[in-house]
């Protein structure tokens, strides 16, 4: 699974990236966490507020730092 965190590199984006990594470990999912900082790439997802969480190309959350537990629930439906 590909987990992407969209954000230009502020504290919230870093927090979401860390939470996503922790959630992937907690869920035991084989996932690659990737940070997307290029604006043109971010705009392709039509996201207006960062940080945003993208799972396998689908935008699942925008503008907030999800908790590890909330991300884990998204990873294991």
Sheet holding 52-55, edge to edge: 32-36, 2-6, 52-55, 58-62
Query: Of the candidates 24, 54, 60, which has an alpha carbon nearest to the alpha carbon of residue 41?
Result: 54
Among 2, 29, 43, 56, binds another protein (CB under 8 A): 43
32 near another protein (CB under 8 A): no
> What's the min distance (Å) between Cβ of 11 and another protein?
8
> Could you give the CA distance from residue 4 to residue 54 in angstroms, rounded to a whole number?
5
Among 21, 22, 60, 68, binds another protein (CB under 8 A): 60
Binding positions for another protein, rule: CB under 8 A: 7-10, 12-13, 39-40, 42-43, 46-50, 58-64, 66, 70, 73-74, 77
């Amino acid at each position: 699974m590909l987990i992407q965190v969209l954000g230009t590199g502020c504290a919230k984006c870093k927090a979401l990236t860390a939470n996503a990594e922790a959630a992937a470990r907690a869920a035991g999912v084989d996932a690659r966490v990737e940070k997307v900082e290029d604006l043109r790439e971010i705009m392709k997802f039509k996201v207006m507020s960062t940080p945003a969480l993208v799972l396998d190309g689908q935008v699942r959350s925008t503008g907030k730092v999800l908790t590890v537990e909330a991300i884990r629930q998204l990873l294991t439906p």
